[in-house]
Copies of this chain bind each other. A is one copy, B any other.
Amino acid sequence: MNGAESLVRTLVSGGVNLCFANPGTSEMHFVAALDRVEGMRCVLCLYEGVVTGAADVYYRMTGNPASTLLHLGPGLGNGLANLHNAKKARSGVVNIVGEHAGYHIKHDAPLTSDIEGVARPMSDWVRTALSAKTVAADGALAIQAAREPPGRVATLILPADTAWGDADGPATVQPPVARRPVAGDAISAGARALTCGELALLFLGGVAMRGRALELAGRIAAKTGCRLMSEFNNARMESGAGRVPAPRLPYVVDVALAALKGVRQLVLVGAKTPVSFFAYPGKPSVLIPDDCAVTKVAGAESDLEGALEALADTLDARHTPPAVASLARPALPTGEVTVEGITAVLVALLPEHAVVIDESITTGRGFATAMSGAAPHDWLTIVGGSIGWGLPAAVGAAIGAPDRKVIALEGDGSAMYTLQALWSMARENLDVTVIVFANRSYKILHTELANVGAGTPGRRANDMLTLDRPNLDWVDLAKGFGVEAGRAASLEEFAQQFRRGLARRGPYLVELVI
């Protein structure tokens, strides 16, 4: 058995049985080992940003890391932006990055680069394998690192000779470490803050936005009268009918400041003190009022459900019924395309237990909050803020949750970064409906230009913000990747096209012209 096979066997026996791959020469022994080892599903992606974005969201859906297979420093570079998103989302990922054979590196062949240097900014754990005999043990450590709560990006660099040299066999992967329990004094402090009589906000992040944790937060809010909100970005939040609404913090600074006005007690469970996404001249970075006290009950790595349970017990809220959203499907609107109309179509037609990938940027800023009346669903956002995440995310979601409909809401500018994901959707027949909001513009930047005090764009600046001349044709693009597609230019056409996507089991793309 060679090193590559010992590594693949270690991954599979350690429960990492999915590999998103874009391999090259230095990874050929790993690829060849796939034929000798049962149990590893390998999904080819035609660009590394697809590989890493899919791995991010596969973890968000399953809680189990996927591995990636990337080709040397530049291949890892192509995957960095979505590893950034994965790291910020606290997703566990096991990157396997090929490298030249150890003895070859000194010759500075064309593809030689400082791979550890490329890896470090977007990884929590980096190691270069030193021999074929030890690469399996390195792989086991990488899996353990990726599973460290709440999830980490681990990058193992695999020199070609450690892949092709003789190995002894797979290594044993230690069981995952449990999430850290929250100390009683943090619980007591949280309970005091929520009941001191001042306007209190229970601010949720991470897995506190799911399942029993979210329900417990709702009971606490019902009992204490505190407000509930969630971070602007969340790796995966449950929403819709029957769920406790915890609206996202607004993106726009002034709107966020208004939403937080008057709050005197901020209680953090899995969230951080809210800060603005960007800095703007004359506006604050920290968004809570100056006189607001902050109580951190639990960080993202902690046992958030346990913390909320203890908090509920302290507050005698365990049996207080939470306020939950009711199903409120609007009538299907018609006529000209408006954001309100799009929202109504989405709320009306969203299937039960859909997984919604939200990279809708400007168009979709209000979607998530409005979706509380829709059927119950999961809502996923770009936690690291780097666009080009959504289509790869949809690949990872569809593979991680094969029995659920995935709906990717995409700005046209964002979708363009990693559109190669469409091909993997076609090849794997993934059950994804993609909606591209074609405003033919980096529309967010028009507002941002004004927000940072840079005025109104002239001709040259405007050329940097628009995607017209020529317009992108998303129907042709989708067809080029083997994905069926249709265009909508009115709300009734949008509803019809969306239904067409929902009706099939497989990928479909709707270009909605705005």
Contact = CB atoms under 8 A, between A and B. Distances in A.
A469 B427 contact: yes
A445 B161 contact: no
A513 to B, nearest CB: 14
B416 A25 contact: no
Given A23-B464, A28-B445, A445-B25, A78 B388 contact: yes
Nearest to A26: B278
B277 A111 contact: yes
A327 interface: no
Contact of A279 (B34, B103, B276): B103
A473 B448 CA distance: 37
Interface in A457-501: 457-461, 463-465, 467, 469-482
Interface string A115-127: 1011011100000
Interface in A28-47: 28-29, 31-32, 34-35, 40, 42, 44, 46-47
A281 interface: yes
A31 B457 contact: yes
A77 B73 contact: no
A44 B468 CA distance: 11
Contacts of A463: 42, 44
A63 B386 CA distance: 33
A295 interface: no
B44 A464 contact: yes
Nearest to A449: B28
Contacts of A480: 472-480
A79 B132 CA distance: 32
A227 interface: no
A279 B103 CA distance: 8
Contact of A460 (B23, B26, B34, B388): B34
A472 B46 CA distance: 11
A209 interface: no
Given A386-B74, A413-B46, A32 B454 contact: yes
Contacts of A42: 460, 463-464
Contacts of A75: 81, 386
A233 interface: yes
Contacts of A420: 416-417, 419
Nearest to A23: B464
Contacts of A423: 416, 470, 472
Interface in A1-36: 21, 23-26, 28-29, 31-32, 34-35
Given A74-B81, A84-B73, A110-B385, A103 B23 contact: no
A29 B280 CA distance: 11
Given A470-B426, A477-B480, A452 B28 contact: yes
A137 to B, nearest CB: 22
A400 to B, nearest CB: 20
A44 B441 CA distance: 12
17 contacts: A24-B448, A28-B448, A32-B457, A34-B464, A35-B458, A42-B460, A44-B464, A46-B416, A74-B85, A77-B77, A109-B285, A110-B383, A114-B121, A115-B121, A118-B118, A423-B472, A476-B479
Given A32-B457, A117-B120, A477-B481, 10 more contacts: A21-B464, A31-B449, A34-B458, A44-B463, A100-B279, A104-B278, A111-B386, A164-B452, A470-B481, A473-B482
